[in-house]
A and B are shown apart, each in its own frame.
Chain A
Amino acid sequence: MHSIRVTLLKWLITPLVLINLIGAGLTYGLAWIPAQTAFDQSLADGVWALIPRIKEQNGQLQVDLPSEAEQVLRVDHFDSMFFVVRTADGKPIAGDHDFPLLQPSADIDEPLAYDGYMRGDPIRITAIRTLIGNKQVFIGAAETLRKREHIRNLILSSLIMLEILLTLILIGIMWIAVTRGLLPLKKMQSDLGQREHNDLSLLESRHQPLELQPVSAAINELLDKVRESAAGQQNFLADVAHQLRTPLAGIKLQLEWLQPKLQEDTEMAHSTRLMMSSTQKMIRQTNQLLALARAEPSRFEKTQLIRLELGKLVESSIQHFVTESDKKGIDLGFDLRAALIMGDPYLLSDMIDNLIDNAIRYSHVGATVTVRCHTEPDGSAVLTVEDSGPGIALSDQELVFSRFYRVSNKVNGSGLGLSIVRDIANDHGARIKLTSGGGRQGTIFSVHFPPTST
């Protein structure tokens, strides 16, 4: 996979390492050449010391070199030292006869250093061409390379260590720099990653770096389009549901007119009762679809929130619940204390309606349902609906909030109720808690609203 970090690091580190290598090469040269020159110089010193000792006697060249003086020339702690004095035609006069061929500079008294071999070992030679009287004499001094190698190795190893250290530090700095540079990208990623599937709010691009702005602008544009299309879908759903209401009202009224007229005929009464129950189911489903479309976060507008008393909201639909619970012989009770929230009254009515309807629907005859609301010490409002019904198994508790999931198929439910409740709670930043099972009877749904800021 293509990675910005890898690309950046590749393009930063490769040239950096190359430049470092070139730098190291140059540093090596700069350190080694003066050292070599100094060594050559001291070798040349030996040669210079020899010159005064060469004399011409009777046309013959002689070197007056007592053995102590020769010792001084030859002794070195690390290296073996060699020397030779030859005539221009190569005749040896003094020193080591097996000294390799001398190639001094063409100029007189100009020492020249070069590499060579002697007795199988590499050596460094300094050769000089000098005049004794009017005769040219070649003088050579040489030493093995131990000392030089030692110094060279020292320079090399310290250079390598230094370069490795520098490179590592630089790579570290680059890594940190690249990571820091990519931080806004990572933040954007986590922002997007943590979203709920239906959270289509725009990305906040004000604090983003210049380079990311076009990206988030493009994403925002896309989010806008998605939101538009989601809203379009929800509007379509709402339109369909609305369109269904008039014909449903027609069927319902026709059936209500028909039913009392068919009371005597049990078969027909049975059939019309089934039709009525089917119609009621369709009506509920249609209303639920509408509520779902309304609760859809893409349609939800925070600007429509108003300060509301939870108890008053429950009160406004109490008539309907009392009738419903009465039909099922359920003891419906209330404990409504002061509880202020910020919310959309129509959505919240849908939510309360679904919670209570759910409790009544899934409880057995003679069960108790209690609706409560109160304010917690921290100022957050809580709505709870408790029933003494069969309860919800732990394995079902996560699933009950998903669309079209139904715990029991014995009960006529749309399977949408609790997902509507969840959507509306989410819209309001409220948290739903479900307490049920674990050997105890009944279910408690509680909705915790965030504290209202005054």
Chain B
Amino acid sequence: MAGTLAADGLKAMHPVHPIVVLDYRVRLPGMLFIAVFAVAHFGGRRQSPLLVAAMVLTALWPHAAYLLAKNAKDTKQAELRNLLFDSFIVGCWMVAMSFSLWPAVAMAATIMNGNLSVGGLRFAGKGVLAILAGVLVTGAFLGFHPVFASNVATTALCIAATLILTSMFGIHSHLQTARVYKAKNDLAIQNQQIQEQNRLIEQARQTALEARDAAESANRAKSAFLANMSHELRTPLNAIIGYSEMLEEDARDSGNAAFAADLQKIRSAGKHLLGLINDVLDLSKVEAGKMKLYLETFEVAGVVEEVVATAQPLAEKNGNTLEVRCAPDVGQLREDITKVRQVLLNLLSNACKFTEKGKVSLDVTRENDVTGTWVVFRVRDTGIGMTPQQTGKLFQAFTQADGSTQRKYGGTGLGLALSRKFCVMMGGDINATSEPGKGSIFTMRLPSDVENFDGEATSIHRTGKAPMPRLSASVPRPSAGPTMLVIDDDPAACELMRRVCTREGFDVVTASGGEEGLRLAREKRPSIITLDVVMPGIDGWTVLTKLKADAELSAIPVIMISISDEKSRGLALGAANYLVKPVDRDRLAGALEPYRGEGAAVG
């Protein structure tokens, strides 16, 4: 019975305090002993109904106490209440057994031991009060008839009960201590295991770091080799192209058409080869993470017109018609114009190459969706098309639709791989859909302003990895750009600098004189300072000298801007750069390039 209930308790839904189980195990024999004392004490004498009721309570109470405590919200508090009731019962029995010395000592010692070990000193005090309550209540019914002596059987039983019950507490406490020690040892072992695992993880991390370094240096070596080799290949190729072009001109001038045609073939083959070498170089740069974006704002229609003019002869060569539809609202793009041009030309020339006597069309539109504003270029052709398998491999480097395509149409298969990489760098992408025999559609999507693309583009040239377009793309960038201090006494010049540099991604602060400039430099701690030389009051040279003499400001790069060219003087005094007025936007942008922060800098 005890085992079942205890096991039940351990399995209870909410945790049952261990003293509930311990007390149950002690209370069960304890109450039994008390009942036996009573029988031994009273011997064969006739029992009063009150004593019978008390015997019944003794038989039921341990189980009731256990269930009460187990199902209580706070199992420990409930069990303490049970112990007080135990104490009360003990008080009752002491009176009922006429204060017989041994039963009284056995019962009091055991319950006090239990109260002390479970609830501590204060609780034991409450226990004493409970015993007294039991004594008074029972005394009121039965009266006090103290007979301190007890018979031999009762005495023997009391001694046995005292020993057994108190030793149960002792054993329990011993087991608890043993359990604490075991837990401590287990913890130490686990700790050791964790340390060992940490060591292994650290080792693995080191190995991985070394492997990464090795891979990076191998990749750098590869890129350097490719870049170098491309250069070496290009030099003789330049001669081939140049001389064939010259001879072609001469041949035409002297009316030798056959020579001219052959020379033209040499030249165009040379140019083709040059294009391939450039593709290899570009791809190796992208893969080495060295490809940079040079952003500028430009009219989309202008670029489209340029590219179409270049693609027109290619279309005519295969008897294709080229249709261009550029939406009137397409507006401007802020992107790397060279790369946009290159990708667009690649798409159009592919379409022309794989289409004969058909139609190639280009549609340019501006589209809005949740991710922002996009400029979409759609190139459709009515050419040979591709199977889904071929489309799948389309954008992988060194892969063409299949080997036979390579033989028939030429090319390295780098063009589309490169195009996609460029688009991804620019925050966009290219996709293709196609049907064999019907034609293909290539769609290039570019964000209308790659800079508002959350600075993702910045990380590209470092990692060479593709950024994922983010939902926040449409959220305007907060003006968290690097701070730039413009010191110039001419308000018009200040305003011009503010306009241009804000567009370049700087948070611009202006000062109209040297004193103010120095004060703002100390207050704002700008990332860069532009400094006019000729100013009333303290001039630019003095300001520069003071800036460089101040330990806290000396690290801020200063770009001198002046009408007179005294570059060497500026550099000698510690200026980072020197521009001569009037400064055009490109030159200024170039000079500011190294100081543009993460938010805006691309390249």
A and B: bona fide binding partners: no
Which B residues have a C-beta under 8 Å from some C-beta of A?
none
A contact residues vs B (CB 8 Å cutoff): none
